[in-house]
Amino acid sequence: MANNAELIAQCEAVAKTWLSPSFDEETRNAVQAMLDAEDKTALIDAFYQNLEFGTGGLRGIMGVGTNRMNKYIVGMATQGFANYVNKAFPGRKDLAVVVGHDCRNNGRDYAETVAAIFSANGIKAYLFESLRPTPEISFAIRQLGAQCGVNVTASHNPKEYNGYKAYWEDGAQVLAPHDKGIIDEVNKVKIEDVKFEANPDLIQIIGGEMDYDYMMAVKEGMVDQDVILRNKDLNIVYSAMHGTGRLLVPLCLRSWGFQNINVVPEQMVVDGNFPTVVSPNPENAEAMTLGMKLGTKLNADLVVATDPDADRLAIVCRNAKGEWQILNGNQTACMFYWYTIKNKKALNQLNPTDFMVKTIVTSELIAKIARANGVECFDEYTGFKWIAYRIRENEGKRKYIGGGEESFGYLPYDKVRDKDAPASICLICEIAAWAKDQGKTLFDLLLDIYKEYGFQKEAAISVTKPGKSGADEIKKMMEDFRATPPTEIAGQKVVTVKDYKSLKQVSNGVESDITMPTTANVLQWFTEDGMKISVRPSGTEPKIKFYCEVPVAGQFDGDYEKATALADAKIAEIKKSLGL
């Protein structure tokens, strides 16, 4: 990398613009040190590109440079966003933005910078008084009638990261044409264009009153309160993972009727360094260790956790041996869909216009459950903004009753337009209460689903390729897969290939069109025995992701370990077939 003279020269030219008086002394010194260093790797990684909006917005490692999260990148992004908002709503005098942040280092500073710049551009900024869950930011945009929103968060990423999620007036993260429009405006902005000086008259601090309204809205996700009242002593252990769920999740649970809520004290401490976990990601079993330890001590029924911005959840329940069993995102989503449909039907609350949504990389078992019960289930692109898109498309015509994705995100009601862990945790506790009514655990319900609809296992494989060279490698991998798609995977013939970039699919040699709202850099392969493998580059991290879905043939007999072992063997074959 350091020998690439043209790239080094390009990065040096950009870096030297960061030596101007527009940047503070600390930033200038850090940039100069990179320029002076013999090894130019750090310089290239910091300046070879500008951070761009992906499926989750703007996200990167904190530090100096155009490819890093810092107050200047936040400032230029915000100035471009403000310029776009002013152009999108010409003549409006009451424009407003909602600004929030999570527990991450520099989060408050970035959020105050965002509010200041919007206010300086004549847009009223509703700034949360302190850290708040991502879904509450989405809710507040709709509640206050704001035109846009910004949440400063890097979700579940490691402590080195921060990010910037941009929202539109429907409370969803921005989609085309707004995302492209914002990027175009951001790319025009020079540091000297940024209006950092706040207009205090256009900044309003919000907090408790919005918390109350949000909590009341969360209750709309409830299916059957009688179940909760009968099992109000359900023994729940909760971890906030050092983040924004610490206040609202216990309050929401109590508002639903649960009374036996125990928290993991070490992880209720707000700390952007996440001292008790390697990574604050609910997908990682290690992050749940302290919760399970407390759950064992208290003989809890289940352990639940939220990631730092409380949009995603993790669930640990007891298996038939009484041991802790971590549910994956697909299993959790299946349970949400299955319970919602089954019990709305039992309560005569299920209507022909009701619909649910999943993403294309999420379990096909969900679609199977919905189809069997006459509920339409839409398939959308990865990223919750696409689930929000489908809700918006059906607004006023059909009723949304739930939707989620494999990455531990779910939304059981429509007052929010992003993943909502507080509401989802309340609902999973309701499902656990219902299971208790039947003398069962959550895990027993999962086995019941497999017995009815068939067993399958899902696995997500991420290959990390950092820096400029990594981005090039990922691009080449996708190009190669397109040029020569596999004809066989794990000994099974590939019968259907879907390419969402060309919106074409070939099934048993017959080509047809795929109907989607736009294109996406995603490939899918379906085999004759029902396997589904999806591959896509991450929009927010230097990764290429493979999503494997492996059904196990025959009637599931309740032996989870045996079925899992069969699926694991097949997943190992898939990895070998794809050279992973």
Q: What is the pLDDT of residues 69-95, one digit of tens each?
A: 999 999 999 999 999 999 999 999 999
pLDDT digits (tens, 9 = 90+) for 17-53: 999 999 999 999 999 999 999 999 999 999 998 877 6
Identify the burial level of 49 via C-beta atoms within 10 angstroms of its C-beta, where 0-12 means exposed, 13-18 middle and 19 or more buried: middle
Instruction: Decide if 20 is inside a domain.
Output: no
- Confidence at residue 180, expressed as pLDDT on a 0 to 100 scale: 86
> What is the three-class DSSP state of 89?
coil
CB 274, CB 240: distance < 8 Å: no
Residue 209 burial (CB count, 10 A): 9
Show which of 206, 239, 268 is a domain's final residue. Answer: 206
For the cut 80, the answer to whether the pLDDT of residue 175 exceeds it is yes
Same-domain status, 260 and 402:
yes
Counted domains in the chain: 3
Give the confidence band of 3 by pLDDT, cuts at 50, 70, 90.
low
pLDDT at 1: 43
Determine the Cα–Cα distance for residues 551 and 535; give it in Å rounded to an integer. Answer: 18
**Conformational region of residue 522, where left means phi above 0, alpha means psi within -120 to 50, and beta covers everything else:** beta
Residues 318 and 423 both lie in one domain: yes
What is the DSSP track for 262-323?
EE-GGGGS--TT-TT-SS--TTSGGGGHHHHHHHHHHT-SEEEEE-TTSSBEEEEEE-TTS-
Report angle CA 445, 435, 289 to the nearest 5 degrees.
75
d(CA 121, CA 173): 21
- The answer to whether residue 392 is domain-embedded is yes
- What integer pLDDT is reported at residue 301 of this predicted model? 97
- Classify residue 8: in a domain, yes or no: no
pLDDT on residue 448: 97
- Dist. CA 498–CA 361, nearest whole Å: 12
Residues with Cβ within 8 Å of residue 3, at least 6 apart in sequence: none
Residue ending a domain, choose from 453, 478, 493: 453
Shared-domain flag, residues 437 and 462: no
Gyration radius from the chain CA atoms: 24
Q: What is the CATH number of the domain that holds 218?
A: 3.40.120.10
Copy the structure tokens of residue 380: 């959308």
Q: Give the pLDDT mean for 190-206.
A: 97
Question: Does residue 540 surpass a pLDDT of 70?
Answer: no
Given 438, 453, 468, the domain boundary residue is 453
Whether 281 and 394 map to the same domain: the answer is: yes
Instruction: Using alpha carbons, select from 155, 142, 95, 149 the residue that is nearest to residue 127.
Output: 149
Q: What is the separation, in whole angstroms, between the first and last Cα of the chain?
A: 24
191 & 179 share domain: yes
| Position 22 in a domain | no
pLDDT of residue 57: 67
363 lies in the same domain as 404 = yes
Six token digits for residue 320: 């038939």
Domain-embedded: residue 39: no
Q: Which amino acid is at 439?
A: G
56 occurs within a structural domain: yes
What angle is formed at CA 427 by the lines to CA 422 and CA 432, rounded to 5 degrees?
125
Do 233 and 302 reside in the same domain of the chain? yes
Domain co-membership, 277 together with 198: no
Same-domain status, 270 and 356 = yes
E strand segments, 102-223: 124-128, 148-152, 161-168, 203-206
Q: What percent of the chain has pLDDT over 90?
A: 90
23 in a structural domain: no
The answer, yes or no, to whether the previous bond of 133 is cis (omega within 30 of 0) is: no
Return the pLDDT at 52: 75
3-state helix, strand and coil shares in percent for the chain, rounded to the nearest 5: 40, 20, 35
Within a domain: residue 17? no
CA distance 481 to 497: 11
Please state whether beta strands 58-61 and 532-537 pair in parallel, antiparallel, or not at all (unpaired).
unpaired
Check: pTM over 0.95? Answer yes or no. no
Q: Decide: 244 and 308 in contact? Cβ < 8 Å.
A: yes
Range of the domain at 232: 214-453
Tokens of 169: 């007036």
Residue 190 has pLDDT above 60, yes or no: yes
Q: Residue 2's pLDDT band (boundaries 50, 70, 90)?
A: very low
387 and 287 assigned to the same domain: yes
Average pLDDT across the chain, whole number: 95
For the ranges 124-133, 415-424, 472-481, which has the lowest average pLDDT? Answer: 472-481
| 471 and 416 within one domain | no
Residues 119, 155, 424, 534: which is the catalytic one? Answer: 155
451-499 pLDDT, tens per residue?
A: 999 999 999 999 998 877 888 899 999 999 999 999 999 999 999 999 9
Q: How far is CA 566 from CA 390, 455, 555, 559, in A?
A: 36, 11, 14, 11
Q: Based on the fold, state whether residues 407 and 540 are members of the same structural domain.
A: no
pLDDT value at 541 more than 80: no
What are the C-alpha distances in Å from 30 to residues 15, 46, 160, 174, 299?
A: 10, 11, 17, 33, 52
Q: What is the CATH number of the domain that holds 488?
A: 3.30.310
Q: Would you call 138 a catalytic residue per the annotation? A: no
Overall average pLDDT of the 53-59 stretch: 66
- Output the pLDDT for position 283: 81
